[in-house]
Amino acid sequence: MNLLPVRSASSMASPPTPALFGTFALAGWGGSTPEAARATYIGHVSQVANKWLLGTGLAAAAAAMLIGRLGGPRNALIAMAVFAIIIAGHQFSLRWHGRNILS
C-alpha cells in the first residue's frame, strides 16, 4: 500500500465589499434607509390615475351591464363607447395636469 502525502492549507480572505463600496453596502442596496419596493411613491400621479382608471372602469362595466339588462345589447355597447370616451378624457386630464383634479 502506497501512502501519498496530502497537504491542505486554509486561506481566509476578507470580503471585498467594504473596500470597494464602503460600509453602506453591507446593509443592502444603497444603504440602510428603508424604502418601499415599488417604482412610484404613494400619491404619485401615475398611482392616483391608475386607481381612478380601475374605479371608473369597474363602475362603467357595472353600468353597462345594467343598461344591457334593461335596454338590450346595442344600448350597452353605445353606453360603453360613451364611458370609454369619458374615461379616456379623464385619464388624459389626470396625467397631463399631473394632479388629481377632483381634490
Weakest mean pLDDT among 3-7, 20-24, 86-90, 99-103: 99-103
Containing domain of residue 29, as a range?
Answer: 17-97
Average confidence (pLDDT) over 74-86: 96
Residue of 28 and 41 predicted with greater confidence: 41
Residue of 9 and 73 predicted with greater confidence: 73
Nearest to 63 by CA among 81, 50, 90: 81
Q: Rounded distance, CA 103 to CA 95, Å? A: 14
23 in any annotated domain? yes
92 in any annotated domain? yes
103 in any annotated domain? no
46 in any annotated domain? yes
- What's the pTM value of the predicted model, to 2 decimals? 0.55
63 in any annotated domain? yes
**Cell numbers describing residue 83:** 364611458
Q: Rounded distance, CA 41 to CA 27, Å? A: 22
**In this predicted model, what pLDDT tens digit does every residue of 15-32 receive, in sequence order?**
665 565 555 555 555 555
How many domains is the chain partitioned into structurally?
Answer: 1
35 in any annotated domain? yes
